[in-house]
Amino acid sequence: MRTRYSEDQQAVAEAFGDLFAREATPEAVRAAEAGCGFDPDLWRKLVAAGAPGMAVGVADGGGGASLVDLAVVVHEWGRRIAPVPLVEHAVCARLLAAAGVGSRRHLVASVASGELIATLAPGPVDADGTVRLVPAGAVADIVAARRGDDIVVSRGQPPGTARPNTADLPLADRDLSDAETVASGAAAASAWDRALAEWKALMAVAYAGLAGEVLAMGVAYTKQRHQFGVPVGSFQAVQHGLADAATRAEGARLLAFRAVCAVDADTAGGARLASMALLFGAESARFASDRALQYHGGYGYSAEYDVQLYYRRAAAWLLQLGEPATEIAQLAETDLGAKARTA
Amino acid sequence: MDFALPTQAEEFRTEVQQFLTEHLTAEMIAATRDGTIHSPALHRAIADRGWLSGAVPAELGGGGMDPVELCVLLEELQLHQAPADALGVAVVTVSMILEHGNDFLRSEAVPRLLSGEALGCFGYSEPESGSDVAAARTRAVRDGDGWVINGSKMWTTLAHIADYVLLLTRTDPEVPKHRGLTFFVVPLDTPGIEIQAVSTMGNERSNATFYDDVVLGDEWRLGDVNDGWTVMKTALKYERGIAGGQFPSPPVIEAAVDWARRARRADGTRPLDDDEVRHKLVRAMIDVEVCRSFAYHTAALASEGAMFGVEGSMTKLFASESYKKHCAWFLDLMGADGLLTHDDPGSHMDGRVEEHFRHAPVTAIYGGTSEINRNLVAEGWLGLPRSR
């Protein structure tokens, strides 16, 4: 049992923390927002660093790292709200490698290297073959989705434009009518469930990163900003709001990493923890960004300051995956049993 | 990183569960309705199992139970609603005596406390000082070789059944408040001590204790004269490891789930099929997993020998505040039925939700209020300036 990073994980955190701090600056985030929510230069740098496929097996062309190691990188990604679809891609790459797409080895290898960008669609394929609002749909070359009892994969030209949205995320509708089936039946169900659990657990970690960073911005600002002749951060009302946000952010971080460990180890209840961690992470990130924005006063609301970038993503990341009420309803099924059918 | 408990700790959990099946009875839990959250038989059984001495740090000569196993012990006691408040008090008292006490105190009090034969209680708060504990005014004055103590203490819970009170006194009123304090271990049968019951909204009994010309030998002094604040800091340190309080919600969630399954609304539906009920139950279960993550994290840090401080404040703050919220939610969901106390034969599960609703507020007050904990997080975790 070790609830802190190992020395190796600490080194990974520092290396990627530096990379994201250097490359995914707030200016880079704004530049991506002016486009489709994607920074191709940053993606190339992550490819060079081996990040996109780091948690794919070596035999499949990946780095052979664990899901927990990947989560360490994702935490840094979340801190900088970096405009690249690292989590979607990494989870889809693992799904493709695991779902026996072995006959298309070159495809898996191209995804593992990051040469092709992959994503997965949480929503269903419509009757006409489209999936709406696919995360990273604007830039992904490969889209995996559920169609009936199958997992299908489509390779197509990404539109390169996103549907305008709250957080300028690369959300786009995709036509999956030409998608090929890569897994069916029980094998598809368990592979998909696992991918969703990984996605939720990793996004929970990303949320912990976002919450921690936006809180740090709030703390730094309230130490430096003076009103009534004293730092705003010396007022107890402000301190207590920040303390509550810090407590929830730390709880979210611990629950998120605990969920990643459980999913990685295939522990019973791992998917449940992942879902809980995602919901709590999203709520904690929203609370932290709300407090940080509030204690910036009017500047927090201005486009010039960075808090608003975090505030918008705190809301949007979760909703890309689905409605919170649905997530809670699924947890209720697990913990409380099915609802009785009404006549 | 690995959050899974070691196999040994999971085996220990099974041992604790078996112990509770054997020793904890529904009657013991019901008996605490008289307001005293203590069961002598259970306390002695815990002591006989070696868990009292086990919980005392090894560097003090205790059993040095692994902090992760200690965390599991406290978790199971809370999940089973075991009336074990005296466990933490005994461990903190013994740890303080072993760290600061003289040979007399070590031989007089420690064996009796560790066997479960004697109980301790805390005499820190006063009518005029709670969170500002260093403002204590109870006076101890030198008198020949001994001391004479006058004053009063508030919230000396368990004093009416305890043998010793750990008493924080003022020995020098002329110096800054932290420098004029001295601790004593005071036998509660010493002449001049009066114990008055303080009843509470949650039906728990606490006490006010009064000290009127209490004459005490110097051998009962704990730590150096005017160095009481050092001793106090030790108490806070040891309390962190044994305080528990991370799992207040599971028993009330269990009761709410049971109610949601069994109750029927006017239209014949079960509350359990209502989305709002399901939503609140799930939200409460998520909060419990947050508490569990905090508890395992702080235990793992302690197990590695790392000091943790603010994490303990965060845990206590989150656990008690979310517990209050859960109790209020469930009471609301139950409507008028939720108001019935255990005295009403029609109350659900002996009025457990109602009972927790009345108990919950004190958990955000005792052992460090939520406001004090927020101050500690703001200063110690966020590096904000001291605001008081």
Q: What 3-state DSSP class applies to B31?
A: helix
Chain A residue numbers touching B293 (CB-CB < 8 A): 251, 254-255, 258
Q: How confident is the model at residue A9 (pLDDT cuts 50, 70, 90)?
A: very high
pLDDT (average), residues A313-342: 94
What are the tokens at B302?
């302690």
Checking if the pLDDT of A314 tops 80, the result is yes
Please report, in tens digits, the pLDDT of each residue of chain B (388 residues total): 999 999 999 999 999 999 999 999 999 999 999 999 999 999 999 999 999 999 998 889 889 899 999 999 999 999 999 999 899 999 999 999 999 999 999 999 999 999 999 999 999 999 999 999 999 999 999 999 999 999 999 999 999 999 999 999 999 999 999 999 999 999 999 999 999 999 999 999 999 999 999 999 999 999 999 999 999 998 888 887 777 789 999 999 999 999 999 999 999 999 999 999 999 999 999 999 999 999 999 999 989 888 778 999 999 999 999 999 999 999 999 999 999 999 999 999 999 999 999 999 999 999 899 999 999 999 999 999 998 7
pLDDT (average), residues A31-50: 98
Q: Are B249 and B322 in contact (CB under 8 A)?
A: yes
B214 burial (CB, 10 Å; 0-12 / 13-18 / 19+) is: buried
Question: What fold is seen in the domain A190-336?
Answer: Butyryl-CoA Dehydrogenase, subunit A; domain 3 (1.20.140)
Q: For B378, which of A239, A261, A265 is closest by C-beta distance? A: A239
Chain B residue numbers touching A207 (CB-CB < 8 A): none
Q: How confident is the model at residue A342 (pLDDT cuts 50, 70, 90)?
A: low
Q: Are A1 and B2 within 8 A, CB to CB?
A: yes
What average pLDDT does the structure give for chain A? 96
pLDDT at A102: 54
Q: For B317, which of A236, A247, A329 is closest by C-beta distance? A: A247
A107-139 pLDDT, tens digit per residue, is: 899 999 999 999 999 988 888 999 999 999 999
Q: Which of residues 214-243 of A touch B (CB under 8 A)?
A: 215, 219, 222-223, 231, 233-236, 239-240, 242-243
Q: Are B377 and A255 within 8 A, CB to CB?
A: no
ipTM for this model: 0.97
Q: Is A258 on the interface with B (CB under 8 A)?
A: yes
Chain A residue numbers touching B291 (CB-CB < 8 A): 251
- Considering the entire predicted model, what is its pTM? 0.97
The three-state (H, E, C) secondary structure of chain A, written as one string: CECCCCHHHHHHHHHHHHHHHHHCCHHHHHHHHHCCCCCHHHHHHHHHCCCCCCCCCHHHCCCCCCHHHHHHHHHHHHHCCCCCCHHHHHHHHHHHHHCCHHHHHHHHHHHHHCCCCEEECCCCCCCCCEEEEECCCCCCCEEEEEECCEEEEEECCCCCCCCCCCCCCCCEEEECCCCEEEECHHHHHHHHHHHHHHHHHHHHHHHHHHHHHHHHHHHHHHHHCEECCEEHHHCHHHHHHHHHHHHHHHHHHHHHHHHHHHHHCCCCCHHHHHHHHHHHHHHHHHHHHHHHHHHCCHHHHCCCCCHHHHHHHHHHHHHHHCCHHHHHHHHHHHHHCCCCCCC
Q: Are B6 and A1 within 8 A, CB to CB?
A: yes
Chain A residue numbers touching B289 (CB-CB < 8 A): 255, 258, 273, 276-277, 280
pLDDT at A190: 94
Q: Are A252 and A204 in contact (CB under 8 A)?
A: yes
Chain A residue numbers touching B4 (CB-CB < 8 A): 1, 261-262, 265, 267
| Separation CA A45–CA B369 (nearest Å) | 49
Placement of tokens 């306390």 in the chain: B43
Q: Are B290 and A280 within 8 A, CB to CB?
A: yes
Q: Are strands B164-170 and B120-123 parallel, antiparallel or unpaired?
A: parallel
CA closest to B69 among chain A residues: A1
pLDDT (average), residues A134-155: 96
pLDDT at A340: 86
Q: Is the dihedral of CA A85, A87, A90, A91 positive or negative?
A: negative
> Among B49, B86, B81, which residue's Cα sits nearest to residue B253?
B81
Checking if the pLDDT of A215 tops 70, the result is yes
Q: Which of residues 258-277 of B touch A (CB under 8 A)?
A: 260, 269-270, 272-273, 275
Interface contacts (A, B; CB < 8 Å): 155
A232-254 pLDDT, tens digit per residue, is: 999 999 999 999 999 999 999 99
Q: What is the DSSP letter of B65?
A: -
State phi, psi for A51 to the nearest 5 degrees. Answer: -75, -40
pLDDT at A343: 44
Indicate the range of A28-37, A87-96, A170-179, B54-63 predicted with least confidence: B54-63
pLDDT (average), residues A276-291: 98
